[in-house]
Amino acid sequence: MELQEDNSLTPDQLRKFKPFSEFDHDNLMRVCAALEVHVESPRKRIVEIGSTDPMELFLLEGKLGLEARDGKKSVITSDSESAELPIAKMRPRMYNIITLSEVKYLLVEPTLLKPGNAPAPITSLSPEQNTPTSDGYQVDILSDGGAYQVEELEQAEEYQIDEIYFSIGSDLKNDKLPLPSLPDVAVRIHSLIESESANAETIANAVNSDPAIAAKLLKTANSPLYRGTSTFESTQAAIVRLGLGTTRQLVTTFAMRSVFQSDNPLLNEHMNHIWKHSIDVASIAYVLARVTRGLNPEQALLAGLLHDVGDIAIIAYAENHPYMLANEDTLATVMDTMRSEIGSMILRKWEFPNELCEAAELAEEWMHPGNINLEYADLVILAQLHLGESDSIEELPPIHSVPAFSKLKNQALTEDGQLAILDEAEDQISEIKQLLTA
């Protein structure tokens, strides 16, 4: 946000704040004369958590980040409803307040919020100072050299990442983060199957509207994984063989490829990497579900395929934020930190079963105890550890050390520390991969 160069304060600017909204023109003019507009550059802390200063902070222009003691973060912009009131009003202060852009703000004595009172203007720190003013605000102004300049350079990337966390977190909270949509063909199939008039013919007509998915469904029905004694030559016959539930899950699975794409060549490389990793995890999860009572293989396939779906929203966000595009480490850090929360939110938006939402949320919670029996989240965890890879930047624990492993009936391991049961099912895993990549 580019700030206006004029630092004078007008009655119209004050009137947008609710405490001043009922002031008459004369009182507003007296308040304007008594206040100073403070200007601060990005990535400076202007309020420290725990401080008890009496001043009220009003945001005129720009963007502020609030960070609570528990690490939760939010963003307030000058054009938001939250900015109509004093920022972080409680005492002691419950938040660190950091400038996420250039900002203009006011420091207002409480007595000034009553008509007719006009205290002297409040001053802020000068560039030469590094101690709090009498109002208790500490603006971390860094000098042109020495240790302060080094501190700013060291913290620059951290603040840049914090700004991204603030922005994405705020957009999530306010339902403003663009989330990918469930592909149309999957939506149509879901709706038809839920309707009372659903039958193989109507479902086949809907599937045939997407020839690529129809071909994949037919190929799957004729694969060694599903084929009976005869070969199917029509989509309708394949649906009868598979059943409506399996058909719905497989159509959704095949439709997901279109979600893992970006028009930006650099970001599309990330998408392709995520898609390949997701196929590997999905194939293993499918095989594990086939030998686990109570788990549906097609549901496990979807759980594996969508466990990193949160990365899609983050990559889409990165397209409009050049800093993330230019810095691979920053993009990786943001995805590692936020993919689980965003992924589960996407799946809930798509109205997927809670067990799939949990699989995305817990996919990298290696030590999650869960229930006594294996769950879909456990399959995703085991699949990643068996592969020895995940999109997490943390070091992976040994597969035998996680709670999910203790729930397996067959706990045999190979010399390389992988699940022996999966080594024995290489052909099945390969077949699933071929169906997903065809």
DSSP-assigned beta bridge partners for residue 39:
104
Which residues face 419 on adjacent strands? 413
Among candidate residues 275, 252, 249, 281, the one with its CA nearest the CA of residue 262 = 275
* Residue 232 per-residue DSSP state: -
Most confident of 120-134, 273-287, 309-323, 382-396: 273-287
Residue found by looking up tokens 């989509």 in the block = 235
Residue 154's CB: how many other CB atoms inside 10 A?
A: 9
Task: Let me know: does 134 contact 51? Beta carbons within 8 Å.
Answer: no
**Mean pLDDT across the chain:** 82
Structure confidence at residue 352 (pLDDT):
92
Place of tokens 């966000």: 317
From the CB of residue 111, how many other CB atoms can be counted at a distance below 10 Å? Answer: 11
pLDDT, mean of residues 277-295: 93
Helices (H) and strands (E) in the chain, counts: 18, 7
Q: What pLDDT is recorded for position 160?
A: 63
Tell me the mean pLDDT in the region 100-119: 82
- Helix H or strand E segment including 212: helix 211-221
CA-based nearest residue to 324, from 134, 165, 113: 165
Residue 341's identity, in one-letter code, is: E
Domains plus CATH for the chain? 11-113 (2.60.120.10), 184-437 (1.10.3210.10)
**Any alpha helices (H) in 367-418, and if so which ranges?**
376-387, 403-406
Please report the pLDDT score of residue 390 as a whole number: 67
Residues in the chain: 438
CA dist 369 → 302, 404, 405 (Å): 22, 7, 10
With 0.85 as the threshold, say if the pTM is over it.
no
Query: What pLDDT is recorded for position 413?
Result: 83
Q: Identify whether 92 is preceded by a cis peptide bond (ω within 30 of 0).
A: yes
Identify whether the C-beta of residue 350 lies closer than 8 Å to the C-beta of residue 256.
no
Mean pLDDT score, 234-263: 90
The pLDDT of residue 162 is: 66
